[in-house]
């Protein structure tokens, strides 16, 4: 499973909702004493204590094992994913391609016939984006910090180093199933609240505040339809909700250890203005 849920509000928010922690059980009010009861000594009826939450280490360890484990991940060095892109409010459908190469290179290519081709890439050092509205631009600031984390090919195994501060925030229901909430605070950029399925251990939802061309935006991403590919779990359905805009990526083909030239992740050359040599 890849956590690539939050990398771009335009292409793929590769991951993650900030949801309230599960409410603690409350004590019930004391029952009215009966004629034979002794009011001074009748205790209030107390609710059963809530089951203790697992620790951060227990949740992270289960997530890493459920995602395939270190042995399976260590056998992989690249991934090429292809699928469809659907933007619901704008009826904008297209194709999605994702290129990933260890240790930290990634490229998203979204082709929407009614809009054009959107690309976002990170070559291990620099991040960039290119779309018909803004043209070719460098990614900087918190957006670049987020891109660096999401470009980590082994981010499932590197969760603790990517988020030096991890805190269990409670429990919630995601798609009708219990999930544990963990807030991850990176060295740079906004915190991410991740929801891990209590039974499977897999990441099923996450939320962060994305900082990009549209400004700061709450992004909630849901991951589902997990399938095993070469020993690791991959979410084949990724739904991202940015409030006024929501889109879904459905993967149809995932291949690992595909040769990818490093140059593919570099920022394209700027187009030569018309009329110049």
* pLDDT > 80? residue 48: no
Is the domain covering 56-263 a CATH 2.50.20.10 domain? yes
Contact criterion met (CB below 8 Å) for 236 and 28: no
For residues 42-69, average pLDDT: 84
Share of the chain above pLDDT 70, in %: 78
Domain limits, the chain: 56-263
The 3-state DSSP class for residue 70 equals helix
- N-to-C CA span, the chain: 48
Q: Which comes out higher in pLDDT, residue 22 or 177?
A: 177
Q: Which comes out higher in pLDDT, residue 2 or 193?
A: 193
The pair phi, psi for residue 109, each rounded to 5°, is: -130, 115
255 strand-pairing partners: 80
In the DSSP assignment, the letter for residue 49 is P
d(CA 205, CA 184): 13
d(CA 13, CA 6): 3
Residue the block writes with tokens 């590919």: 229
* pLDDT > 50? residue 41: no
* pLDDT > 50? residue 9: no
* pLDDT > 70? residue 169: yes
DSSP 7-47: S-SSS--B-----PPPPPPPPPPPPPP-TTS-TTTPPPPPP
Contact criterion met (CB below 8 Å) for 130 and 122: no
Number of other CB atoms surrounding residue 57 within 10 Å: 10
d(CA 50, CA 24): 7
pLDDT computed for residue 18 by the predictor: 24
Binned at pLDDT 50, 70 and 90, residue 1 comes out as very low
Tokens linked to 8: 């771009």
> Of 13-27, 121-135, 199-213, which has the strongest mean pLDDT?
121-135
* Out of 74-83, 86-95, 191-200, 250-259, least confident range: 86-95
d(CA 92, CA 73): 35
CA 198 to mean position of chain CA atoms:
17
Tokens linked to 124: 């291990």
Average model confidence (pLDDT) across the chain: 83
Number of other CB atoms surrounding residue 137 within 10 Å: 13
d(CA 77, CA 47): 52
Q: pTM for the complete prediction?
A: 0.80
* pLDDT > 70? residue 12: no
* pLDDT > 80? residue 110: yes
Q: Give the pairing of strands 127-131 and 203-212.
A: unpaired
d(CA 10, CA 143): 13
Q: Which residues, in sequence order, are CB contacts of 255 under 8 Å at separation 6+? A: 79, 80, 81
Q: Which comes out higher in pLDDT, residue 275 or 146?
A: 146
Give the 3-state secondary structure percentages of the chain, helix then strand then coil, rounded to 5.
10, 45, 45
């Amino acid at each position: 499973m890849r956590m690539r849920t939050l990398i771009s509000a335009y292409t793929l928010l590769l991951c993650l909702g900030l949801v309230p922690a599960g409410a603690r059980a409350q004590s019930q009010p004391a029952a009215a004493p009966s004629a034979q009861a002794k009011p001074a000594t009748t205790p209030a009826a107390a609710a059963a204590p809530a089951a203790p939450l697992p620790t951060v280490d227990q949740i992270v360890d289960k997530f890493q094992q459920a995602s395939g484990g270190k042995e399976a991940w260590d056998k992989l060095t690249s991934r090429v994913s292809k699928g469809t892109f659907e933007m619901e409010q704008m009826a904008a459908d297209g194709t999605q391609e994702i290129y990933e190469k260890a240790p930290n290179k990634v490229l998203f290519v979204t082709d929407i016939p009614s809009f054009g081709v959107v690309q976002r890439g990170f070559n291990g050092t620099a991040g960039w984006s290119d779309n018909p509205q803004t043209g070719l631009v460098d990614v900087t600031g918190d957006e670049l910090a987020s891109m660096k984390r999401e470009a980590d090919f082994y981010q499932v195994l590197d969760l603790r180093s990517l988020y030096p501060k991890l805190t269990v925030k409670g429990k919630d229901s995601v798609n009708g199933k219990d999930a544990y909430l963990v807030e991850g605070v990176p060295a740079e950029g906004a915190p991410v609240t991740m929801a891990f399925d209590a039974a499977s251990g897999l990441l099923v939802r996450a939320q962060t505040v994305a900082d990009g061309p549209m400004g700061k935006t709450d992004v909630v991403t849901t991951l589902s339809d997990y399938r095993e590919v070469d020993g690791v779990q991959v979410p084949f359905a990724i739904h991202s909700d940015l409030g006024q805009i929501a889109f879904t990526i459905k993967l149809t083909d995932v291949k690992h250890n595909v040769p990818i030239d490093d140059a593919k992740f570099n920022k394209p050359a700027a187009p030569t203005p018309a009329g110049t040599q």
